[in-house]
Structure formats: structure tokens, C-alpha cells
């Protein structure tokens, strides 16, 4: 484990070379710039992916690439001020270029981290091509979280999960007044992720129950997400991951 995340942007070439000779893996956070209701910032997905990469680097010592802040544009976000995204093939090609450059530097395994659940976005990540390096795509919100939630069975959008996580990680970015809850059937949630709901009259879409969010819930959700990914994807011993998270909680 490392006291600080090992960010590529803050290291010198000789440091990167030495680190990759020891551990040839690279964490790459991929976010999005889209609305998450009227109470959360446009960069919610980017904030979560970047923070996860930093925390996982502290747990494991694996290097962290600069965050890719734009994901595939979701149809419902059209018209929201400040929202911006890429076409699926554009993101796919950009990631191919980035991974090819890092692979030439000695990276042998990439771990792509995202919390943007749009199907086209996740497909762009899952289909990147390398010369020989392994690519693993981690949807941070695919971790089983239902038992930690008060009012919904799974992560949705701008909901109890997103709002709780931001209340824990960046409370200054959460507006105090939260929108009305809006629960939907799983079929509607699935069509939303497939981009089949189309352009909405109100692009500040909320699916779920943000009114039940709390920083305490966010802390529990984050601890589970980071521990599960650290152990199952990066091979970090559970005790080591727990100790690192506990150290981060100390004032």
C-alpha cells in the first residue's frame, strides 16, 4: 500500500519505469459529464471514478492514469446546460490510442474504472483492443449494494446511492434541497441504461430515492465498493484494504 495515490501525472519518467517493472498494471478512471438531478454536479461519475482510482492505488500501490472525464453521451442529457459527451466510437478510439501508448511503456494490465452505467459507454470500454495487455472493466456500482440501502433495491441514477456517495466524498458539492423521489420498475431502468428513453422534457433526471441518502450510508457503500474491487480485481488482502480505508477515515 502507498501513503498517496501513485498518479502518473505527478511522477517522473524514471519513477514510472521503476514502478511498472515492479507492478505493470494501470488504473484508468473513466467518467462522464452529464446531469445527475438538480442536486448533484455534472461530474458525479467522474468524481467517483477518480476517487476510486486514488483509493485503490493507496490500497495496492498500482499506478493511476489521468482521468478521462467524458463518457458516451446519454440521450436523456441532451439540453442540459454544461453536459457534454462523446460518441461510442469516439471514446472507443480514444481509449485504444491511450492504451496503446501506455502498453508501449510497459503496462501489461489495464483496469478501467467507471460508474456511468450507460450501455453504449460500457461497451466502448469493454471492446478496447491492445497488442497483448489484459483489459479489465470495472463498473463500480455493479457491486452488490442493496442490503446497505434504505429505499431501493439497487443503484439507479441521481438516487440514494449517488447522493449518499457524494455526501460522503464531497459534501460541499451536494445541494441541500433534494428533488422528489421517483421510483421506476426495473424494465424502465434497463431501458434508461440502453438509452431507449429518448430525450426527456427534463434532462435533470432522477431515478430512485435521493431523499433517503446520508453520508453514513455513503461511507458504508464506499467501503464495500473499494474493498471488493481491491480484493477481487487487484488481489489486495482484505485486511490490507480495510486498514488503508480506516487510515483514510482518520482526521
pLDDT tens sequence for the chain (251 residues): 678 999 999 999 999 999 999 999 999 999 999 999 999 999 999 999 999 999 999 999 999 999 999 999 887 777 788 999 999 999 999 999 999 999 999 999 999 999 999 999 999 999 999 999 999 999 999 999 999 999 999 999 999 999 999 999 999 999 998 888 998 888 888 888 888 776 665 668 899 999 999 999 999 999 999 999 999 999 999 888 888 777 766 55
Q: Please answer whether residues 54 and 66 qualify as being in contact, where contact means their C-beta atoms are separated by less than 8 angstroms.
A: no
pLDDT of residue 174: 97
The number of beta carbons lying within 10 Å of the beta carbon of residue 27 is 28
Q: How far is CA 132 from the centre of its chain?
A: 25
pLDDT of residue 203: 67
pLDDT of residue 201: 57
State the Rg of the chain over Cα: 18
pLDDT of residue 204: 80
Instruction: Cite the DSSP H helix spans in 146-237.
Output: 160-169, 186-193, 215-232
pLDDT of residue 247: 74
Amino acid at each position: 500500500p502507498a501513503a498517496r495515490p501513485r498518479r502518473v501525472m505527478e511522477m517522473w519518467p524514471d519513477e514510472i519505469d521503476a514502478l511498472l517493472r515492479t507492478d505493470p498494471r494501470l488504473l484508468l478512471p473513466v467518467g462522464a459529464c452529464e446531469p445527475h438531478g438538480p442536486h448533484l454536479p455534472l461530474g458525479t461519475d467522474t468524481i467517483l471514478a477518480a476517487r476510486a482510482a486514488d483509493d485503490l492505488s493507496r490500497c495496492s500501490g498500482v499506478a493511476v492514469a489521468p482521468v478521462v472525464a467524458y463518457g458516451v453521451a446519454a440521450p436523456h442529457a441532451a439540453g442540459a446546460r454544461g453536459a457534454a459527451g462523446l460518441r461510442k466510437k469516439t471514446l472507443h478510439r480514444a481509449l485504444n490510442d491511450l492504451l496503446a501508448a501506455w502498453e508501449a511503456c510497459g503496462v501489461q494490465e489495464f483496469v478501467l474504472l467507471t460508474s456511468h452505467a450507460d450501455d453504449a459507454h460500457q461497451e466502448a470500454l469493454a471492446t478496447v483492443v491492445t497488442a497483448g495487455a489484459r483489459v479489465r472493466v470495472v463498473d463500480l456500482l455493479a457491486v452488490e449494494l442493496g442490503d446497505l440501502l434504505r429505499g431501493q433495491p439497487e443503484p439507479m441514477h441521481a438516487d440514494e446511492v449517488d447522493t449518499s456517495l457524494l455526501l460522503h466524498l464531497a459534501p460541499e458539492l451536494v445541494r441541500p434541497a433534494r428533488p422528489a423521489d421517483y421510483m421506476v420498475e426495473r424494465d424502465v431502468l434497463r431501458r434508461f441504461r440502453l438509452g431507449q428513453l429518448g430525450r426527456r422534457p427534463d434532462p435533470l433526471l432522477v431515478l430512485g430515492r435521493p431523499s433517503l441518502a446520508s453520508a453514513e450510508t455513503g461511507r458504508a457503500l464506499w467501503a464495500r465498493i473499494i474493498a471488493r474491487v481491491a480484493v477481487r480485481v487487484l488481489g489486495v488482502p482484505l485486511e490490507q484494504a480495510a486498514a488503508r480505508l480506516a487510515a483514510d477515515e482518520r482526521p
